[in-house]
Chains A and B, each alone.
Chain A
């Protein structure tokens, strides 16, 4: 079945550091890929998405590229801020009429000033 594997957390970085959170997936067909973010005390918010190979999703300085050859969708940001502290979830929806999002375990990111 479908699965998403995320980099183990927690991750602690200093402000302005470069961020990478690794995400790889297993799915049949051609899934759509998503990154969701959960700020403290809040629900899941869509951060970015990509629907086909080589697409790059971007939002708020974050980027992720859909790599079919490595089945990856790593999240990157060039210079993190304290306000980026949150839990980040990689997720997919397959394209076989399957409507459910399959999530990774989440990576807790803490940015220190």
Chain B
């Protein structure tokens, strides 16, 4: 069964460093998403991406964040200058369509900013 994959599974970084989280969505899906879950809190939407551009983003997704689909398979989330409060589990998801379609999630990347 096709699945969303994410790398790395864990990342530790120093405050102020740049990190890139990678995702490979399900191959025939067109819509891509990033969510995060701070320990003990809700899963929160960050951004959605379609047709090589951001279609929606949350208040959390400020100028420190960016997304890219550099080739036909990868979807990346970059945090330019990490802060302590960026420590969280980051989930990538993809869906085949847009309106109320099921989103399929990857296993997540646990980011720890020291």
Contacts and interface: CB of A to CB of B under 8 A. Distances in A.
Interface of A: 31-32, 34, 36, 42-46, 49, 51, 89, 91, 93, 95, 97-106
A99 B31 contact: yes
Interface stretch (B13-21, B62-70, B71-79, B101-109): B101-109
Contacts, number: 56
B56 A100 contact: yes
Nearest to A30: B100
A45 B55 contact: no
B108 A99 contact: no
**Residue from the set B6, B56, B98, B105 with the largest chain A CB neighbour count within 10 Å:** B105
- List the 4 shortest-distance A-B pairs measured between CB atoms, nearest first: A100-B45, A43-B107, A32-B100, A44-B105
Contact of B100 (A45, A46, A93, A102): A93
Contacts of A97: 98-99
Contacts of A45: 105
Contacts of B91: 43-44
Contact of B56 (A31, A98, A102): A98
Interface of B: 4, 6, 31, 33, 35, 41-45, 48, 55-56, 58, 91, 93, 98-100, 102-108
B8 to A, nearest CB: 14
Nearest to B45: A100
Contacts of B31: 99
Nearest to B48: A99
Given A44-B91, A46-B104, A99 B42 contact: no
A33 B39 CA distance: 24
A3 to B, nearest CB: 10
Contacts of A89: 43
B104 A104 contact: no
A47 to B, nearest CB: 11
A43 B102 contact: no
Contact of B103 (A42, A98, A101, A105): A101
A82 B91 CA distance: 26
A43 B48 contact: no
